[in-house]
């Protein structure tokens, strides 16, 4: 027998072993058929290592599982799954709708290899107006709704919440500070200065008037903005008629704040009060599902999802699996508008109604206003998938890898890194660098010449070299300006994550600044150099977590080092440039009337600025181009005591 015959025998043996394994999987499945009922339920297919390969639901468990015993009717992917099956588990349910809900929960928990998976499925934020304080606070809330108060939402993203919170601050002047900060205030904070808070903490506004603002905000969040605007317009006219022009101007600004968010609404749904709009778009073997939240006929934001699925899964199956998992931990709205029909619409509708404990409608609109809403969702899905496919794969992978260690809601699109640089406290500067999916965004870099930390600071003031005070100034200036210029966060200039070059102290300062400004939705981390400034042994500090380190070979750590080093390079370069300008400047530049020609003549004559300062009046008069009057001015400049 020659070598070719050996190869043929080897291939035949391999095919035989695969066939034997497949038949073994079929026999495992067949062995369960004898005891399976013909009732609804959920089944799990399990490998020899105990891993769950697939979770499925069925109206009739026995018939559904029996289908797997006929290999000729299965795709290559399903044959591979059957091949790996060594045991099965079953749960019976009363109805198919219950089976669908249980299936979705198990998929989310077990993440089976052969199921369509929705991996990015964190809870949505809401707005909370607290009910446990005499002066209610308005804030973003996520998680269990245990605190006393009124919840509004859910919002599809933190950005949508931030936009609404910004409007609430500008239009209704509600406080966003914590109860501890509120109790400790002795004078109005910065938010009062920029007209984002009524400052009830220092009794600038009394309680009845403040509670009136809370009522207006509550009405605004429940869709009664038109009535509020009419009332404010009437109040503005009364103030104007009474010649209280400053009060009228304040009311005008509040009206503008409300109309600004209405102008930003990209969904017009006058006849759709409460609905989720779900559009699915596919290209290049990938799928994007765009979800819009409509509450009180207002757009509460949207989010894109990219479910993992087999290449042979059709769009209806993907959409149905997505909806089942999406609402496994959320209460569905009264209406779901879908871009296409799902295979088991009736079962899905019943399952969602059971989940909400009220009737839920699922529609695939074909015309009119609802069809236009679906069109908008599909356009956004197409654009989002296009952006995702166009992004650098390696950079996106690194950004995705930041989600878990930094406890982020989603991969960051904008990271800002801050570092300070100075020499003995002089020429102090702060540097901010920016990175995103396309790498470093150098036209977004910013420098901050430190103003409040000076070498000649008096006792009690921030002293030269006080890195914490420098960082406080940089962050306060950066985010105060952001609150003022882009409160609705529409321009894409707000970061998803900020990284501070420093340790626990720098993190504490950052948290204090953000609490002072009422910012609670930006990821924060500090990265400190390792022992002996050793690269690879950096410590990471996050709010509410113990400091930790990443493995020295972790690509995420290398990425963080690149970010930190770029910030350090930029801060050092900015500092050196500022110091160089100071060195190049001569004391003669500060004397009025001494221009370039006179400065050159003086330096040529005396050799240095110090020699000019020590020269007598008669000596100065001997320099070409220096009159007696100019000589007196120069002499008096350097000898003011005389």
pLDDT in tens, 22-77: 678 899 999 999 888 899 999 999 998 899 999 999 999 999 999 999 888 888 88
Structure token pair of residue 106:
């198990």
CB atoms within 10 A of CB 250: 14
Confidence of residue 456 (pLDDT cuts 50, 70, 90): very low
Please check whether the two domains, 3-110 and 415-583, share a CATH topology. Answer: no
As a three-state string, the secondary structure of 385-437 is: HHHHHHCCHHHHHHHHHCCCCCCCCCCCCCEEEEEEEEECCEEEEEEEEEEEC
Is the pLDDT score of 604 beyond 80? no
The predicted model gives 598-615 an average pLDDT of 81
Spans of all domains in the chain: 3-110, 126-264, 275-390, 415-583, 587-638
Is the pLDDT score of 2 beyond 50? no
C-alpha distances in Å from residue 274, one per residue of 220, 294, 363, 381, 617: 15, 5, 13, 21, 85
Give me the pLDDT at residue 457, please. Answer: 45
CATH architecture of 3-110: 3-Layer(aba) Sandwich (3.40)
Residues belonging to the chain: 642
| DSSP classification of residue 521 | S
C-alpha distances in Å from residue 125, one per residue of 256, 493, 521, 532: 26, 21, 10, 42
CB atoms within 10 A of CB 9: 11
Give me the pLDDT at residue 525, please. Answer: 94
- For the domain made up of 587-638, give the CATH fold: DNA polymerase; domain 1 (1.10.150)
Contact between 305 and 291 under an 8 Å Cβ cutoff? The reply is: yes
| Pick from 202, 234, 75: nearest CA to 135 | 202
Q: Alpha-carbon distance 95 to 100, whole Å? A: 9
Give me the pLDDT at residue 297, please. Answer: 73
Residue the block writes with tokens 């209280």: 244
Is the pLDDT score of 156 beyond 90? no
Contact between 539 and 528 under an 8 Å Cβ cutoff? The reply is: yes
Is the pLDDT score of 12 beyond 80? no
CATH superfamily ID and name for 275-390: Ribonuclease H-like superfamily/Ribonuclease H (3.30.420.10)
Give me the pLDDT at residue 201, please. Answer: 92
CATH architecture of 415-583: 2-Layer Sandwich (3.30)
Select, from the ranges 148-157, 338-347, 479-488, 522-531, the one with the highest average predicted confidence (pLDDT): 338-347
C-alpha distances in Å from residue 195, one per residue of 172, 179, 595: 10, 20, 46
């Amino acid at each position: 027998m020659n070598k070719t015959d050996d190869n043929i025998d080897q291939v035949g043996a391999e095919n035989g072993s695969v066939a034997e394994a497949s038949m073994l999987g079929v026999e495992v499945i067949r062995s369960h058929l004898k005891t399976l009922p013909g009732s609804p339920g959920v089944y799990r297919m399990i490998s020899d290592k105990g891993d769950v390969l697939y979770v499925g639901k069925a109206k009739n468990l026995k018939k559904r599982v029996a289908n797997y015993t006929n290999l000729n009717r299965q795709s290559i992917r399903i044959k591979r799954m059957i091949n790996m099956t060594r045991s099965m588990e079953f749960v019976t349910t009363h109805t198919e709708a219950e089976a669908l809900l249980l299936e979705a929960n198990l998929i989310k928990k077990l993440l089976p290899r052969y199921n369509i998976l929705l991996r990015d499925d964190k809870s949505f934020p809401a707005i909370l107006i607290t009910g446990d304080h005499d002066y209610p606070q308005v804030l973003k809330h996520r998680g269990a709704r245990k605190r006393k108060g009124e919840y509004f939402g859910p919002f599809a993203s933190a950005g949508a919440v931030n936009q609404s919170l910004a409007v609430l601050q500008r239009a209704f002047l509600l406080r966003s500070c914590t109860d501890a900060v509120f109790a400790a205030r002795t004078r109005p904070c910065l938010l009062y200065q920029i007209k984002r808070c009524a400052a009830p903490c220092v009794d600038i506004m009394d309680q009845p008037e403040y509670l009136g603002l809370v009522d207006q905000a509550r009405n605004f969040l429940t869709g009664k903005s038109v009535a509020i605007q009419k009332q404010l317009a009437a109040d503005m006219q009364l103030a104007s008629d009474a010649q209280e022009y400053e009060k009228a101007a304040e009311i005008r600004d509040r009206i503008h704040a409300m109309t600004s968010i209405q102008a930003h609404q990209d969904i017009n749904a006058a006849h759709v009060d409460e609905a989720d709009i779900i559009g699915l778009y596919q290209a290049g073997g990938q799928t994007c599902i765009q979800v819009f939240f409509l509450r009180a006929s207002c757009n509460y934001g949207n989010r894109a999802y990219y479910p993992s699925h087999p290449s042979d899964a059709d769009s209806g199956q993907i959409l149905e699996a997505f909806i089942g998992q999406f609402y496994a931990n959320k209460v569905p709205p009264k209406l779901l508008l879908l871009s296409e029909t799902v295979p088991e619409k009736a079962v899905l509708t019943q399952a969602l109604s059971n989940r909400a404990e009220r009737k839920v409608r699922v529609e695939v609109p074909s015309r009119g206003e609802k069809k236009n809403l679906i069109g908008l969702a599909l356009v956004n899905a197409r654009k989002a998938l296009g952006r995702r496919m166009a992004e650098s794969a390696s950079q996106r992978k690194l950004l995705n890898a930041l989600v878990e260690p930094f406890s982020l809601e989603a991969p960051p699109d904008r990271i800002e890194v801050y570092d300070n640089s100075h020499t003995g406290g002089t020429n102090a500067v702060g540097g901010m660098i920016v990175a995103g999916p396309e790498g470093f965004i150098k036209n977004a870099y910013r420098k901050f010449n430190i103003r409040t930390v000076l070498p000649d600071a008096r006792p009690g003031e921030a002293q030269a070299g006080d890195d914490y005070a420098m960082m406080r100034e940089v962050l306060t200036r950066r985010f105060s300006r952001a609150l003022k210029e882009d409160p609705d966060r529409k321009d894409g200039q707000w970061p998803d994550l900020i990284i501070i070059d420093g340790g626990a102290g720098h993190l504490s300062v950052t948290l204090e600044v953000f609490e002072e400004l009422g910012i609670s939705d930006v990821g924060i981390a500090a990265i400190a150099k390792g022992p002996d400034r050793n690269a690879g042994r950096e410590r990471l500090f996050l709010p509410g977590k113990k400091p930790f380190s990443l493995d020295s070979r972790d690509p995420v750590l290398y990425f963080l080092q690149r970010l930190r080093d770029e910030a350090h390079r930029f801060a050092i370069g900015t500092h050196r440039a500022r110091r160089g300008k100071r060195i190049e400047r001569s004391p003669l530049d500060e004397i009025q009337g001494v221009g370039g020609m006179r400065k050159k003549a003086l330096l040529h004559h005396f050799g240095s600025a110090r020699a000019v300062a020590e020269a007598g009046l008669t000596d100065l008069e001997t320099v070409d181009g220096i009159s007696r009057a100019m000589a007196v001015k120069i002499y008096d400049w350097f000898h003011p005591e005389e």
